């Protein structure tokens, strides 16, 4: 038996909790785990995945190279050492193997959904097919290892985003969270590939998600930082680019960077046009994918044989040589000019054929070559002698990237993180914005939106006009759904929900999370004073038909009449009107506030 002293202790503890239980409940509500914190933790996990994917591509590429080459080595250096028949055979054989992987792999995994990052965010539910991406990753490793003129960063970014999406699919999370995970995966992939965490976060915000709100940007930053730390700090992987220090640019020399920006804008538009033309021509001949990739590899091999082995691989080896001034020698101008044209042709054919990979690194190769050629030309005429050709090359990298992505901010940050040299940022900014203005006049689409336009998908573009907020979509303001209840819950549980929630309605869903009705607070008034037995009353007995719902892709301007008519504080958002799967909610007050701010902005003098 318990001692009297112990019973006294229990009595006092019981009395203490009876007096303070309300205060304890109050503090428990204050430390509820918010969704923003949960997203932050998810982003950290995705960042770790992105760092490991970068590691996988590095060692996976070396493993594949051992099958084709005597030892793992940069494709450009390997091509320089090979005999002509090897320069021709290895890229061709690599294209054939990579194409066969895609041909048989896609037949093995069967038809699946789109694997395009932007498409699953803009028009999809954030679901990226893992099996299809596994096949594409294997093909990309072979292409990269055997010298295809394609970037490694594309595969890293795609696989990181796919694994992040797969994590959400396994957990059966709603589409709005899957889209965020895709963005975090893309940010982690770019950050790990280039050792550029700011660039990764900005890329995911501007290009993938198209939204710079803090609720989205904070997880993207977390994923980028974690990927960089895992890849480069923990595993010690070296950055691709090593940029020498450049002297500060004198104010009198800034005008030359504007002229170079015009040149890079033309190069960007030409590159985009060539990519589209190559793809259209390959689609027109209806060759199987393995034949197309074999032709792409054969093209790279032929270009290497005629004297330009620098076209092999993604190009960072040659880009480093350009930045360090290795082409600033007598007679090097024709060689660099020929290499520029050869890389332009080889990359367009490689990408147009359907080779899996990225275009970031080849684009910066072209920019570096164009900038160096421009700087060398100025030096031949005795102009800008205080600015090294390597400085023009770095600014050209940023300007050409800006022209192809139509995002000057992304390109400026990218070039800065590569060099970590602020002295070149002012001329870099001028070159980037000039290149974007020129490129838009010549070719309106970016390298990421061109194929989406061909499919009839519309992307909202940043606008400097007053009232740009009116062009937002429901997805831009969508919040998590009001926690729904199943159709079988009892009246008692419904009443408890209303007592603990500020919402004036509860969504009712079935086992597949499809919205089948709602219950408003006023629907319970007939039962409040009822003396009858209500234990058998369930949600199915009380619910009314679901109200008119919204979908993520609708524009706010189009849904304004529905919002004004609705008596709900949070209007349900469903995946599609046919599926009716509950994926989020739209705050009526937030929509009206957005329109009020936009109207106020437009009514200001000078707006």
The dihedral sign for the CA sequence 456, 178, 111, 513: negative
DSSP 8-state secondary structure symbol assigned to residue 126? S
**Burial (CB count within 10 angstroms: exposed 0-12, middle 13-18, buried 19+), residue 110:** exposed
Q: What is the mean pLDDT of each run of 10 residues along the chain (607 residues)?
A: 64 64 55 73 94 92 85 82 89 94 91 77 80 93 91 91 93 85 94 92 88 81 94 75 86 93 96 93 91 94 91 87 85 90 94 91 94 93 89 94 93 91 90 95 86 61 45 76 84 79 82 85 69 68 83 80 81 81 82 70 49
Tell me the C-alpha distance between 94 and 141, whole Å.
Answer: 10
Which residue's structure tokens are 């395009």?
116
Segment (H or E) for 582:
strand 582-587
Q: Where are the beta strands (DSSP E) in 321-431?
A: none
Give the 3-state DSSP-derived string for 496-561, with helices as H, strands as E and coil as C. Answer: HHHHHCCCCEEEEECCCCEEEEEEEHHHHHHHHCCCCCCCCCEHHHHCECCCCCECCCCEHHHHHH
Angle at which helices 254-285 and 332-352 pack, to 10 degrees? 40
Q: Is 570 helix (H, G, I), strand (E, B) or coil?
A: strand
What is the distance between the alpha carbons of residues 484 and 503, in angstroms, rounded to a whole number?
11
Sorted by where each starts, the structural domains of the chain and their CATH numbers stand as 36-234 (1.10.3080.10), 251-468 (1.10.3080.10), 472-602 (3.10.580.10)
Q: 82: which DSSP letter?
A: S
Task: In whole angstroms, give the CA distance from residue 99 to residue 296.
Answer: 10
DSSP for 197-232 reads HHHHHHHIIIIII----HHHHHHHHHHHHHHHIIII
Dist. CA 529–CA 12, nearest whole Å: 39
Residue 577 CA to residue 584 CA, distance in Å, equals: 13
Q: Which pLDDT score is estimated for 41?
A: 92
Q: What pLDDT was estimated at residue 462?
A: 43
Contact 444, 461 (CB under 8 A): no
The pLDDT assigned to 52 comes to: 94
The pLDDT score that the predictor gives to residue 466 is 37
Cα dist from 560 to 286, 554, 563, 571, 586, whole Å = 46, 10, 5, 12, 11
Q: What is the pTM of this model?
A: 0.74
DSSP secondary structure, 225-278, as one string: HHHHIIIIIIS-PPPS--PPP-PPPPGGGHHHHHHHHHHHHHHHHHHHHHHHHH
Structure tokens at 534: 């209500």
Q: How far apart are CA 514 and CA 572, in angstroms?
A: 11
């Amino acid at each position: 038996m318990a001692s009297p002293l112990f019973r006294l202790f229990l009595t006092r503890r019981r009395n203490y909790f009876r007096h303070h239980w309300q205060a304890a409940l109050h503090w428990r509500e204050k430390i509820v785990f918010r969704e923003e914190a949960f997203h932050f933790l998810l982003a950290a996990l995705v960042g770790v995945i992105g760092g490991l994917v970068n590691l996988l591509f590095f060692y996976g590429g070396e493993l594949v190279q051992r099958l084709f080459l005597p030892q793992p080595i940069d494709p450009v250096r390997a091509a320089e050492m090979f005999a002509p028949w090897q320069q021709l055979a290895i890229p061709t054989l690599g294209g054939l193997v990579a194409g066969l992987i895609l041909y048989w792999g896609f037949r093995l995994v069967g038809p699946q959904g789109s694997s395009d990052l932007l498409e699953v965010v803009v028009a999809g539910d954030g679901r990226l097919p893992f099996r299809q991406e596994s096949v594409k990753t294997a093909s990309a490793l072979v292409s990269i290892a055997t010298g295809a003129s394609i970037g490694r960063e594309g595969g890293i970014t795609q696989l990181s985003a796919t694994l992040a999406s797969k994590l959400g699919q396994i957990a059966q999370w709603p589409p709005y969270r899957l889209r965020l995970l895709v963005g975090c995966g893309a940010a982690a992939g770019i950050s790990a590939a280039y050792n550029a965490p700011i660039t990764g976060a900005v890329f995911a915000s501007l290009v993938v998600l198209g939204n710079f709100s803090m609720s989205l940007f904070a997880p993207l930053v977390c994923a980028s930082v974690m990927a960089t730390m895992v890849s480069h700090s923990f595993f010690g992987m070296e950055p691709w680019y090593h940029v020498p220090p450049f002297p500060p640019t004198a104010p009198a020399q800034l005008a030359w960077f504007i002229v170079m920006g015009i040149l890079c804008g033309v190069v960007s538009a030409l590159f985009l046009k060539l990519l589209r033309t190559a793809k259209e021509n390959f689609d027109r001949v209806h060759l199987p994918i393995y034949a197309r990739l074999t032709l792409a590899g054969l093209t790279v091999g032929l270009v290497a044989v005629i004297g330009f082995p620098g076209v092999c691989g993604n190009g960072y080896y040659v880009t480093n040589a350009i930045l360090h001034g290795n082409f600033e020698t007598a007679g090097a101008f024709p060689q660099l000019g020929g290499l520029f044209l050869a890389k332009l042709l080889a990359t367009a054919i490689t990408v147009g054929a359907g080779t899996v990979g990225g275009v970031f690194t080849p684009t910066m190769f072209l920019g570096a070559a164009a900038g160096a050629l421009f700087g060398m030309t100025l030096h031949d005429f005795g102009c800008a002698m205080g600015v090294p050709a390597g400085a023009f090359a770095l600014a050209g990298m940023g300007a050409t990237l800006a022209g192809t992505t139509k995002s000057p901010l992304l390109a400026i940050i990218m070039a800065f993180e590569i060099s970590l040299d602020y002295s070149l940022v002012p001329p870099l900014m001028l070159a980037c914005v000039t290149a974007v203005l020129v490129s838009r006049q010549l070719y309106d689409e970016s390298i990421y939106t061109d194929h989406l336009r061909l499919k009839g998908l519309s992307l909202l573009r940043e606008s400097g006009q007053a009232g740009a907020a009116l062009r937002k979509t429901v997805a831009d303001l969508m919040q998590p759904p009001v926690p729904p209840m199943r159709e079988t819950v009892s009246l008692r549980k419904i009443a408890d929900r209303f007592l603990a929630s500020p919402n004036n309605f509860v969504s009712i869903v079935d086992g597949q999370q499809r919205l089948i009705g709602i219950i408003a607070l006023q629907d319970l008034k007939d039962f409040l004073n009822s003396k009858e037995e209500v234990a058998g009353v369930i949600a199915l007995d009380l619910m009314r038909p679901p109200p008119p719902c919204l979908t993520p892709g609708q524009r706010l301007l189009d849904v304004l009449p529905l919002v004004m008519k609705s008596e709900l504080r949070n209007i349900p958002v469903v995946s599609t009107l046919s599926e009716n799967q509950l994926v989020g909610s739209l705050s009526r007050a937030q929509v009206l506030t957005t329109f009020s701010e936009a109207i106020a902005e437009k009514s200001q003098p000078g707006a």
